[in-house]
Amino acid sequence: MIRKLLFITGTRADFGKLKTLIQKADEHDAFEVAVFITGMHTLKRYGYTVDEVYRALPEHRLRDGTRSVYVFHNQVQGEPMERVLANTIDGLSRYVTEFRPDLIVVHGDRIEALAGAVVGALRNILVAHIEGGEVSGTVDELIRHSVTKLSHIHFVANEQACRRLLQLGERPETVFEIGSPDMDLMLAANLPALPEVLQYYEIPFERYGLILFHPVTTDLEDTRRAVAALVDAVLASGRNFVVIYPNNDEGCELIFDAYSRFDGSARFKLIPSMRVEYFLALLRSADFLLGNSSAGIRECPVFGVPAINVSSRQAGRGRAAGIIDVVGTSAAIADAFQKADTLRGELAPELHFGAGNSAELFVAALESDALWQVSTQKQFMDMN
C-alpha cells in the first residue's frame, strides 16, 4: 500500500529541518511525497526562496507525472499573523481536497505549521509534528504546544522534549525520538567550503560575526531597544558582520529600520535569506553568532561557535557552554564580543539533539504498521 505524505514548509528555517526527511521519504517506494510551499518562501523581500525548495527537489513528481511541489501565496508583506493563518488554512484545505494525503507533516512553531495541524485535525487526517516539546519563547511557544495538541504523531529531538509531550497528555506510543533533522545536514561531510559561500553571496571578508535577530512579538518595545543597542555595538566594534534578515513576524520593521544604519558601510553584508547548507557553512566558520535566533541555542553548540544571545527571546531554553546571555544594551553586547573571542576555538562540539540520522529514524517509524494504526481520535493521557 502506498502512503501519501504532505510536507508543509513556510520558512527557510523549517525547510532546513524538513529537507532530509522529504528526500529520504521520497526515495522510498512505499511513499508518495508532496510539498506545500507557502509563507516567507513566497515573499520577494526574503529572496523568494521557493526556488531553493525547487532546487533541492529538482525531479520531484507524483506518480501520475505531475509536479509534487505546490506553491501557495498566503500573505502580503505586513499582513497580521491571524489573517495569514486564516489564508493558509483556506489554501491548504483546498489542496488537501485534491491531493488527499494519508499524513500531513509539519515542523515547529510557525503559523504555517498551525494551519497544517488544524486542517489535518478537522479533516480527519493524521498529522505528524516535527520537534514538538521544545521551549520557544514569545508567541511561538503557544503555537508549538497548540500544534502538539492538534497532532497525532510526534517526532521529537531528545528525551527532554519527549517528557514535555507526556506532560501535555500525549500518549507514549505516539512519540518517536529521532533527533533534530538539521543535524543530518550539519554533520554531513559535504557542506560547501567557505570560499564557495563567500563567492556566491559576494561577502568581501573572511573574518566575520553573524547577526540574526528576530522580533519578540510579545514585547515590541524590548525589540526596539535591543536592536538599537545591537546596532550601536556593532557599529562601534570595527568588526565585519554578515547580517541575515529577520523573520516576518510583527515587529520586523523595527529591525529593518535599525539595520538601515548599516547602509554605505563595507563592514556589513546584508542577505535576505540563504540556502540551508550555505548558512551552516557560514555559521561553522563565524567568529560568533549575535542576536536571538534559535540557531544560537541549537546549531552553534554543534560547531563549537560562541553565541551572543541578546535579551529575552530564547528565555528558558537549554544553555550550552558557548552561549553568552546578555541584556539588550550596547555595553553588554560589546563586552560579550571579548568573551566570544576567548571562547572561539576552545569549545568542544555538543550533540544534544541527535547524531545525524534523523531521516533514517523518521522513515523507519513510517515503515511501522503501528504508526498507521494511531487513531485520529485523540484522548488526553493523565499522568500517574
pLDDT value of position 62: 65
Q: Is 228 helix (H, G, I), strand (E, B) or coil?
A: helix
In this structure, which amino acid lies at residue 17? Answer: K
Domain ranges of the chain: 3-186+355-372, 194-343
- pLDDT score of 66: 60
Lowest mean pLDDT among 17-21, 142-146, 344-348, 370-374: 344-348
Instruction: List phi, psi (to 5°) of 57.
Output: -130, 60
Q: What is the mean pLDDT of residues 215-238?
A: 95
Element at 89 (helix H, strand E): helix 81-99
Domain 3-186+355-372 and domain 194-343 have a common topology: yes
User: In whole angstroms, how large is the CA radius of gyration of the chain?
Assistant: 20
Q: Would you say residue 65 has pLDDT above 70?
A: no
Higher pLDDT: 60 or 163? It is 163
Write down the pLDDT at residue 67: 64
Q: Alpha helices, DSSP H only, in 304-354?
A: 330-343
pLDDT of residue 135: 87
152 phi and psi, to 5 degrees? -110, -25
pLDDT confidence band for 237 (50 / 70 / 90): very high
Q: Looking at residues 29-49, what average pLDDT do you find?
A: 93
pLDDT in tens, 165-216: 999 999 999 999 999 999 999 998 889 999 999 999 999 999 999 999 999 9
Q: Is the pLDDT of residue 330 over 90?
A: yes
State yes or no: pLDDT of 311 exceeds 90. no
CATH topology of domain 3-186+355-372: Rossmann fold (3.40.50)
Q: How confident is the model at residue 56 (pLDDT cuts 50, 70, 90)?
A: confident
Torsion of CA 127, 376, 150, 130, to 10 degrees: -30
How many other C-beta atoms lie within 10 A of the C-beta of residue 23?
15
Averaged over 330-334, what is the pLDDT?
Answer: 97
Asked if 60 and 26 count as a contact pair (C-beta separation under 8 A), the reply is: yes
pLDDT at 317: 72
Supply 62's cell numbers: 507524483
Asked whether the predicted pLDDT for residue 223 surpasses 70, the reply is yes
CB 145, CB 320: distance < 8 Å: no
The pLDDT of residue 58 is above 80: no
Mean pLDDT of all residues in the chain?
93
Residue 166, C-alpha cell as written in the block: 507526556
Q: Which residue has the higher pLDDT, 303 or 312?
A: 303
- The band of 162, judged by pLDDT with boundaries at 50, 70 and 90, is very high
Phi, psi of 199 (to 5 degrees): -70, -45
Look up the CATH number of domain 194-343.
Answer: 3.40.50.2000
* Residue 89: band (very low, low, confident or very high) from pLDDT cuts 50, 70, 90: very high
- 8 A C-beta contact, residue 301 and residue 349: yes
pLDDT-based confidence at residue 313 (cuts at 50, 70, 90)? confident
pTM, two decimal places: 0.91
State the pLDDT confidence band at 61, using cuts at 50, 70 and 90.
Answer: low
In this prediction, residues 225-240 reach a mean pLDDT of: 97
In percent, how much of the chain has pLDDT > 70?
Answer: 97
- pLDDT score of 63: 67
